Structure 1
Amino acid sequence: MIMREEELEIAIKVVIVGNGGVGKSSMIQRYCKGIYTRDYKKTIGVDFLERMIDIDGEDVRVMLWDTAGQEEFDAITKAYYRGAQACVLTFSTTDRCSFEAVKDWKKKVENECGEIPTVLVQNKIDLMDQAMVTFEESEALAKSLGVRLFRTSVKEDLNVAGVFRYLATNCHEMIKEQYNTVLPLSTPTISQFSPTFHSKSNGTIILTRPLKKSSKKKNMLKKCGMI
């Protein structure tokens, strides 16, 4: 069976990593739900949210995996890096240790995923009067890692959406370049925590979904890039 490009839905798995307390959970809550609160509890293992966005007229599902920043959860969280197609390295303007840990976080993700589109996020820039990291230092780190730097304030909703749109756009272009129309021999099933899938070298899979009515009159057989 042949699929046309306009019949596809693309999903992109993004992992957000960094030390505890840098604002990872509040970042994905702000992006996916449009809310902000100071009362987030420490993430235990992994949290997951998603949001649909439009890129070049196509629906793209951005799946955000918020991982715990404490060492005691390493054995749990590293398993969830696998299959990620993009990464957000996060540190806090007010936390020097989180800045110095960025290179280690990048290595942890690359050990599971190889090289994937990545950005460096300096969060809490609304607290520059308490800064423990200079702009020059953050720029130098981004340059040494070969990634783009975003400065964000989740509290003020500054640049948060830009982080994920940038990564989703890059991944969208890569997936379209690598796209082929061959369906897997068997239909895979997936769940958030125990995925089963027919894998490709680029980290994407093709899924079949039940047909349903659509006002856009599109066939609902779709392709998802996922875990």
Structure 2
Amino acid sequence: MTIAARTARTRLTPQARRAQLLDCALAAFAEHGVARATHSHVAERAGVSVPAVHSYFRTRDDLVAAVLGEVEVYLIEIVSRSLGGPKAVHEALEALAVNFSRDAKEKPDMMKVWLDWSTGVRADVWPRYMDVLERLHAIAQKVLERGMGEGVIPPDLSVKAAARVYLGGGHTVALMQFSGATPPEIDAVIGHLVRTAMGIGPGAPLPAAG
């Protein structure tokens, strides 16, 4: 490593250094998993010493909390942004599924950590994920309730159950990208998710945008 490269690293502000280490941590967690990633993995990716990583994230619990905090912010933001605004209900639901599919390609580390976290039924990380999931369900449920009020969703549909099934489908869409599914295959699943969430049969047209 050159002196110039070492000097460039030392010139980072503490805030910039923490952000750099957090990016490296996200990549390390995507590769090694939430249960196995360590300070050493982060240090290797960042090209710094292990004590340097510890100076920003003192314990492994601190490191895990910081990485999962990034994923939590991402999930709340993408769900709120995709489902929010004046879009028609089916357009909002489609937008979120499409954005999940896109980010599986453009933000693979973020998506891999999310998928790993969502299956890690472990005492230390699972309760936090369940809290996040409840918040996501509430956002999706509000959109479906709006659709019911607009008359585009049947009044007897359980919006709580539909919201849970719909967001669970986000995993499927992301996994399909990682498995190399074709765009038509992904589009077919997205269409099925939207129709199922809205209680619309496979042959029925989606409501026209208002």
TM-score interval w.r.t. the shorter chain? under 0.3
Work out which structure has the larger RCO, using CA pairs closer than 8 Å and 6 or more positions apart in sequence: 1
For normalisation by structure 1, the TM-score amounts to 0.24
Looking at CA atoms only, which structure, 1 or 2, has the larger radius of gyration?
2
Q: Hey, which of these two has a bigger chunk of helix by percent? A: 2
Please give the TM-score of this superposition, normalised by the length of structure 2.
Answer: 0.25
Higher strand share: 1
